[in-house]
Amino acid sequence: MQKTFTYPKFDFVKPPELTSGQPGHYPVVVVGAGPVGLSAAIDLANQGQDVLLIDNDDTVSIGSRGVCYAKRALEVLDRMGCGDKFVQKGVSWDVGRTFLREGEVFNFNLRPEPDHHRPGMINLQQYYLEEYLIERAKQLSDKLQMRFKSNVISVLPEGDKVTVRVETPDGPYSLTTDWLVVADGARSPIRTMLGLDIDGKIFMDRFLIADVVMKADFPSERWFWFDPPFHPNQSVLLHKQADNVWRIDFQLGWQADPEAEKKPEKVIPRIKAMLGDEREFELEWVSVYTFQCRRMNQFNHGRVLFVGDAAHQVSPFGARGANSGIQDSDNLAWKLKLVIDGKAPATLLDSYSEERGLAADENIMNSTRSTDFITPKSNTSKTFRNAVLELAANYPFARALVNSGRLSVPSWLATSSLNTPDTDEFTGNMIPGAPMADAPVQTASGEGWLLHQLGNRFQVLHYVEDAGTLDAAIAKSLGDLTVNGIAVEPIVVAKKGQASDGLKTLIDTKGCIAQRYDLQPGSTYLARPDQHVAARWRTLDAGKIKAAVARATANA
């Protein structure tokens, strides 16, 4: 097998508990250094929170798992200070094409409008995702401690602390923590230790992953075939990843023998049938997977908080696994920080489970629909599916029914109890709960992007035509927006000018913010630390803003 990636090795370092014989105490412990646990630990450390991250392995994800990371996850990585590296290494793409046999029947563009910083999607091997997250974690080492080769073997929640027992190459030890974030993956040993249920269903199909290294001039697009001549009656998916590694997923059917299918003598002819005999390639990785769609009922259990695959799993069609897990940590980190700092009650964490539970339902629904279309379970569904595909080439109504994977998009938390419902008229998508849309801006230090100015704290965006003529009373109100010790950063958005008194001013260079947020002079938005809209009004009223912050932090 060809190797394009050198797996890093992370040493075991003897923790102080093993020297002193005393259990250490930590405000937050995260278990699992997969993409989600790493994101949670980084996000907390980024906000100044001491955090200990424990993982039982000594390297990053082995082999081929996650490939596609969506715009929203990239924006979260940006907020955590590390998005560029993923985008530079990954293969950016926006267009996906679906073929029936050899003819194209459907295509989509994940970024139908210009003037967003990040692409619709990047493809990047999961080992790079984790390696770069670990690099970011190391930059935060004054707040974030990592312990590898440390296997959590028992978890005991008692009152206001959790006792954790850890097995290491130098023997076991115990520690206690105020908050335990569980990111130990789909099998979640901790979920089992605590006797917690996870409900859902397993899908009766098998897929072969073949990662091949080759130089090919196919465009950087997602290609999905139903019933292609090179793999009749099944489906095939092709993605370009970094380092000229191409990921091919072949549907095999439930009856396929996974061990036999992984053998080069079975895999290579399948690839040659697809690529032609002449094209040179080397295999980098081969595996066979099945999948499940399921979720826990509740993601917070007292002081134990479940994130990522430990809390919910989806089929890979839709790339909603790591993407949604990163959004779990995006949603949880600021809430947990406020609770730890005594600025919000612990009930704020119920909203984590509420909001991300809804997102999990949405993800499971979408990935289940895709899976049902790709692998129909009855003759009737198969007949319907095939009819849709046949009609899609010529009839637009059928194209809308083709489902080879509705790819990960962020959840509009429209029903969240943290939102302040609209009392003024607005049009467009930026409703309370919406993930905030990006747009180009001019800042005091040059050209930039709206989302790079948002996040990690509550912020108020107030729109005027000319920031230089901002009303003095409004400027004063904007400068004094603290609720329960939670400071709200004021931002003036304007067509031109600079607000006085050092108020941060963003110039809406292309008018995209005004258009995307339906702004009129006076329009005011309250943004959450995770870049979701909390509330909006047509005029600025400090009392209403403070009430909305109180509501968004469970202080009301």
By the 8 A CB rule, do 399 and 106 touch? yes
Q: Give the Cα separation of 551 and 556 in Å (integer).
A: 5
Q: Tell me: does residue 405 bind ligand FAD (CB under 6 A).
A: no
By the 8 A CB rule, do 238 and 246 touch? yes
What is the per-residue binding string for ligand FAD in 346-385, x denoting contact by CB under 6 A? ----------------------------------------
Q: Tell me: does residue 523 bind ligand FAD (CB under 6 A).
A: no
Residue of 26, 28, 29, 34 interacting with ligand FAD (CB under 6 A): 34
Q: Tell me: does residue 551 bind ligand FAD (CB under 6 A).
A: no
By the 8 A CB rule, do 535 and 525 touch? yes
Q: Give the Cα separation of 477 and 486 in Å (integer).
A: 15
Closest CB to ligand FAD among residues 183, 493? 183
Closest CB to ligand FAD among residues 291, 517? 291
Q: Tell me: does residue 298 bind ligand FAD (CB under 6 A).
A: no
Name which of 404, 221, 435 is nearest 323 in CA terms.
Answer: 435
Closest CB to ligand FAD among residues 230, 289? 289
**Which tokens belong to 383?**
């007949």
What is the per-residue binding string for ligand FAD in 65-84, x denoting contact by CB under 6 A? xxxx----------------
> At its nearest, how many Å lie between ligand FAD and the CB of residue 271?
17
- Which helix (H) or strand (E) segment holds residue 446: the answer is strand 446-449
Q: Tell me: does residue 228 bind ligand FAD (CB under 6 A).
A: no
Q: What is the CA radius of gyration of the chain?
A: 25
Q: Tell me: does residue 37 bind ligand FAD (CB under 6 A).
A: yes
By the 8 A CB rule, do 449 and 114 touch? no
By the 8 A CB rule, do 42 and 140 touch? yes
Residue of 30, 33, 74, 338 interacting with ligand FAD (CB under 6 A): 33
Vertex 72, ends 4 and 221: CA angle to 5°? 50
Residue of 152, 245, 474, 513 interacting with ligand FAD (CB under 6 A): 152
- The region of 74-82, 179-187, 368-376, 427-435 touching ligand FAD under the rule CB under 6 A is 179-187
Residue of 90, 316, 410, 440 interacting with ligand FAD (CB under 6 A): 316
Q: Tell me: does residue 210 bind ligand FAD (CB under 6 A).
A: no
Contacts of 390 (CB under 8 A, 6+ apart): 100
Q: Reduced to 3 DSSP states, what percent helix, strand and coil does the chain have, rounded to the nearest 5?
A: 30, 30, 40
By the 8 A CB rule, do 283 and 210 touch? yes
Name which of 269, 247, 413, 378 is nearest 316 in CA terms.
Answer: 247
The dihedrals phi and psi of 15, each to the nearest 5 degrees, come to: -80, 160
> At its nearest, how many Å lie between ligand FAD and the CB of residue 97?
17
Residue of 56, 145, 367, 368 interacting with ligand FAD (CB under 6 A): 56
Q: Give the Cα separation of 307 and 333 in Å (integer).
A: 11
Residue that the structure tokens 């996906």 belong to: 96
Closest CB to ligand FAD among residues 37, 83? 37
Collapsing DSSP to helix, strand or coil, 208 comes out as: strand
- The region of 18-26, 75-83, 321-329, 381-389 touching ligand FAD under the rule CB under 6 A is 321-329
Residue of 26, 28, 32, 206 interacting with ligand FAD (CB under 6 A): 32
How many CA atoms are closer than 13 Å to the CA of 274, on its beta-carbon side? Answer: 26
> At its nearest, how many Å lie between ligand FAD and the CB of residue 340?
22
- The region of 33-41, 258-266, 382-390, 421-429 touching ligand FAD under the rule CB under 6 A is 33-41
Closest CB to ligand FAD among residues 77, 554? 77
> At its nearest, how many Å lie between ligand FAD and the CB of residue 208?
10
Q: Give the Cα separation of 260 and 393 in Å (integer).
A: 36
> At its nearest, how many Å lie between ligand FAD and the CB of residue 21?
22
Within 10 angstroms of residue 211's Cβ, the number of other Cβ atoms is: 23
Strand residue runs (E) in 372-457: 440-443, 446-449
Q: Give the Cα separation of 360 and 294 in Å (integer).
A: 9
Q: Sheet holding 95-100: strands in order across?
A: 103-109, 95-100, 222-226, 235-240, 245-251, 199-213, 282-295, 312-313
> At its nearest, how many Å lie between ligand FAD and the CB of residue 306?
9
Residue of 75, 184, 205, 355 interacting with ligand FAD (CB under 6 A): 184
- The region of 110-118, 214-222, 265-273, 318-326 touching ligand FAD under the rule CB under 6 A is 318-326
Applying CB under 6 A, the site for ligand FAD has a residue count of 35
Of all residues in the shown chain, the one whose CB is closest to ligand FAD is: 34
Q: Give the Cα separation of 110 and 120 in Å (integer).
A: 5
Q: Tell me: does residue 183 bind ligand FAD (CB under 6 A).
A: yes
> At its nearest, how many Å lie between ligand FAD and the CB of residue 202?
13
Q: Tell me: does residue 322 bind ligand FAD (CB under 6 A).
A: yes
Q: Tell me: does residue 54 bind ligand FAD (CB under 6 A).
A: yes
Residues in touch with ligand FAD (CB under 6 A): 31-37, 54-57, 61, 65-68, 126, 151-152, 183-186, 189, 209, 289, 308-310, 316, 319, 321-323, 325
